Chain A
Amino acid sequence: MGEELKVIVFKLGEEEYGIEVNKVQTIERMMPITRVPKTFSFVKGVINLRGVVIPVIDLRGRFGLPESEFSDQTRIIIVTANELEVGFIVDSANDVIDINSDVIDSPPDVVGGVKAKYLRGVARISEERLLVMLNLSEVLNRSEIIQLESLEG
């Protein structure tokens, strides 16, 4: 029997993703974002979260998914990992569930759209419901992006 995990569930398009609750600081509604020039295209800018300036990332852009308009459901999930504080813009976030680490399978070799290295694994919650568990330190890893940028530039 593996350990019990509390997971925040959010959606990008039709897909459901999970982040462990202890990595999540708060979930905020959409708020004004100040654009920061000359940075990665998926960095939407910075927000004022109770007096602290925090960069926000469009998670769709980060995963190479097509970007979409923000709606009433759009949320900013503030996560803390590797001493970094970052906000993720997601389509919606409205669930907290308990899963057992046993039900997390290692990421399949091919996962549609999202690069496998960003994934910690896929949790099977029910027959129809799959949850993509994020590997936060990879999502927030900058070195790979910087390499990509310099290749393009």
Chain B
Amino acid sequence: MDMNQYLSMFIDESNDHLQALNENMLELEQTPDDIGIVQVIFRSAHTLKGMAATMGFEDLSSLTHQMENVLDLVRNEKLKMQDYIFDTLFQGLDALQAMVQDITQGGEGKADVSSIVSSLQAIVRGDFASNEAPAATASTTSQASGGAEINLDQYQYSVLEQSITEGHSVLYISVAIREDSQLKAARAYMVFDLLERYGDIVKSSPSVQDIEQEKFDRSFSLYYITQKEAPELQSMIMNLSEIESTEVMQLDHETLNQISAGVQEAAAAAVAEPVQEANAENNAPSAGAEKASASAKAEPKKAAAHHSAAPSRTIRVDIDRLDVLMNLLSEWLIDRSRLEQLASEVKRSELTETVEHMSRVGSDLQNIVLKLRMVQIDTVFNRFPRMVRDLAKSLDKKIDLIITGAETELDRTVIDEIGDPLVHLLRNAVDHGVEQTAERIAAGKPETGTVNLRAFHSGNHVFIEIEDDGHGIDRSKILAKAISRGIVTESEGAKMKDEEVFMLLFAPGFSTAEVISDISGRGVGLDVVKTKIESLSGVVSVESKLGKGTKFSVQLPLTLSIISAMLIKVGSEKYAIPLSSIVETGLIQRSQIRQVHGYTMIPYRDAHIPLVSLANLFEVPGYDENAEEESEIVVVRKGDRLAAVTVEDFIGQSEIVIKNLGKYLPAIQGIAGATILGDGQVALIIDPNAFIK
């Protein structure tokens, strides 16, 4: 069978599954006891394994198999999730991701994963080296072997101890119900009912509540204080129907001590809750274990519920096909306007009505096609929770990432480009923004830092904000550094507004990291982010309050394939200048033009700026602007440098669709592409950046 035709499908679906695995694992980290999520994770892993095996990617399928083994134990409540297991599973996910990446690039998807596999196998065997509190390990292994003991809290422990001292018999009872029993909860109830007649149950595992809801496998165990002797009780329990086995052990001080080993830790922590829950607390990840993060937890849960309730019904479409559709549509729109023209000349009501209806349908079609290219920013955001978790862990910080507006839609062309700058800004917030835990406590802030990642629409733009509640930016520190690097002079710096000072962060060669860490100070600074965002016709800005936090805002156009432009005329030719680089339009007298150092300059505000003649530069035939007394100019901007471009006439502002000139033409300086005007003619789009050196 030829697998190639299935390969792209396999890659797409694998990526989906890996993403889902990552998301669900993160969610499970927040609520480690939610077996429902484990089930979802297990199913995803299982499907992935099956697909990989079918496609012949053995390494991929065998690693997934090992991960599945661990998940299976967790699913059946024979293993409790904890930090070490999460870390190992995440390592496994990373390895899987790398393999799929390799396959995407035409590789075999092979990788050496033996260390991860052996860690996973160790977890399954239960003898992994964990740096967890011994209590957790003890409870894990004991549960794996069938629930032989229960952890007691200090209060329960002292009750039992006192009872022994007072001469009551303290029993440890474990009961197994027959496998074929239809009514496990009812049988368990009968056992409890019987026991309660002759004494007191101090503690059971699983809890009485769970047993009532049949949330237990087949066996349960309990601590019991009674006047009766062990053998007598044993036979009484065995007399109940459908009980497979029961074990009753008389406890004295020593055995009680042994059996509830680990109770001291819990006691030391002085937690009133049952030990198991306390462990769950300990196991919860540093990133977001706090109760204060209730809002953060609610968000993803809502989203998850939404996902599972209504699986989106979608198909994948090649973006090139969408482009073809868009082209056909613009062709059709041109014909439509011709038809409208003809209909107005013919003046026949049936024809006019039909053409009008056609126009309405056409507008709807255009809207739909444009919407097809829109992608939820979710596809970019969804890799961030995992990234922030890993970063926070490696920096030993506690950080909640709160994502809002993930459903905001952006054009595909922007989505593909925006990921890297956002990664940079987020890393910056986590690394430089949020303080170390001790520092936060000293500053009277909650232990867990918050990083907000928001996306929202406003007008024709999408805003993305990254806000942390860290220590903020210190104006004086930045100025000192900028002055020492020669970026600004001392007197310039003194006059600058706070915002202007913060923008120095984006100056080339500026990095605030005192020590270059491997997280954000990798030799490249925020200037790269700024360049990238500007190349997307976006704007980045920063606000900060010392001690309160910092907010980076990124403003992006909704789409890169449609831009606002000023249409201008030179001679018989029409050109489009992107509005984003236009500062203003105006009029100059030819007599104002000066020659300075061989450059043509004009006065503008209180400075001189270079003047570029479009007619000369593009050798426009049949037009001589020197004959005119005054010229229309467009002042364009690249960064903070300005230039003026002379044109013959302004036609007006218009939304244009950007097209490339085709592969045959070499890159032409000053030309960014082409667009098709309403009359079907092609107009070239000017790249004003090329005019400014």
Residues of A that sit less than 8 Å from B by CB: 32, 34-39, 43, 45-48, 50-55, 57, 83-86, 140, 142, 146
Contact = CB atoms under 8 A, between A and B. Distances in A.
Contacts of B6: none
B668 A38 contact: yes
A52 to B, nearest CB: 6
A71 B671 CA distance: 30
Nearest to A37: B618
A79 to B, nearest CB: 11
Contacts of A142: 664, 666
Interface stretch (B16-24, B302-310, B326-334, B502-510): B326-334
Contact of A52 (B327, B329, B619, B620): B327
Given A38-B668, A50-B327, 19 more contacts: A32-B680, A34-B674, A34-B684, A36-B665, A37-B620, A37-B670, A37-B671, A39-B666, A43-B665, A46-B661, A48-B676, A50-B328, A51-B330, A51-B331, A51-B676, A53-B662, A84-B663, A84-B664, A142-B666
- Chain B interface size range: 20 to 34
- Of A47, A52, A140, which is in contact with the most chain B CB atoms at under 10 Å from its CB? A52
Nearest to B660: A53
B255 interface: no
A140 B664 CA distance: 8
B683 interface: yes
Given A38-B618, A39-B666, A55 B682 contact: no
A51 B618 contact: no
B573 interface: yes
A36 B661 contact: yes
B331 A32 contact: no
Nearest to B573: A35
A25 to B, nearest CB: 13
Given A34-B674, A36-B671, A51-B326, A84 B681 contact: no
Contacts of B684: 34, 36, 46
A51 B670 CA distance: 23
A125 to B, nearest CB: 31
A55 B660 CA distance: 10
B327 A46 contact: no
Contacts of B619: 37-38
A52 B668 CA distance: 19
Given A46-B661, A50-B328, A51-B331, A36 B676 contact: no
B461 interface: no
A146 B328 contact: no
B674 A37 contact: no
A47 B682 contact: yes
Interface string B648-681: 0000000000011111111011110010100011
A105 B329 CA distance: 46
- Of A38, A57, A83, A84, which is in contact with the most chain B CB atoms at under 10 Å from its CB? A38
Contacts of B670: 37-38
Contacts of A39: 665-666, 668
B328 A51 contact: yes
Contact of A53 (B620, B659, B666, B669): B659
Contacts of B329: 51
Contacts of A37: 617-620, 668, 670-671
A38 to B, nearest CB: 5
Interface in B584-629: 617-621
Contact of A46 (B330, B663, B669, B674): B674
A52 B617 CA distance: 26
A45 B684 CA distance: 10
B474 to A, nearest CB: 49
B326 A55 contact: no
Contacts of B664: 55, 57, 84-86, 140, 142
A29 to B, nearest CB: 14
Contacts of B326: 51
B573 to A, nearest CB: 7
Interface in B398-415: none
Interface in B347-386: none
A142 B666 CA distance: 9
Contacts of B663: 83-85
29 contacts: A32-B680, A34-B674, A34-B681, A35-B573, A36-B668, A37-B618, A37-B620, A37-B668, A38-B618, A38-B670, A39-B668, A46-B661, A46-B662, A46-B665, A46-B684, A48-B676, A48-B682, A50-B327, A51-B326, A51-B327, A51-B328, A51-B331, A51-B676, A53-B676, A53-B682, A55-B661, A55-B664, A55-B665, A83-B663
A34 B682 contact: yes
B682 A46 contact: yes
Which 4 residue pairs of A and B lie closest in terms of their CB atoms, listed nearest first?
A51-B327, A37-B618, A34-B682, A53-B659
B328 to A, nearest CB: 6
B622 to A, nearest CB: 11
A86 B621 CA distance: 24
Nearest to B618: A37
Given A50-B328, A51-B331, A86 B662 contact: yes
A52 B665 contact: no
Nearest to B662: A55
Contacts of A43: 665
Contacts of A53: 659-662, 674, 676, 682
Nearest to A32: B681
Nearest to A38: B668
Nearest to B657: A51
A65 to B, nearest CB: 20
A48 to B, nearest CB: 5
Contacts of A83: 663
A35 B575 CA distance: 11
Contacts of B662: 46, 53-55, 84-86
Contacts of B331: 50-51
B681 A146 contact: no
Contacts of B330: 51
A146 to B, nearest CB: 7
A53 B680 CA distance: 11
Contacts of A46: 661-662, 665, 674, 682, 684
Nearest to A47: B682
A131 B235 CA distance: 108
A35 B663 CA distance: 17
Contacts of B671: 36-38
B507 to A, nearest CB: 33
Contacts of A84: 662-664
A21 B331 CA distance: 25
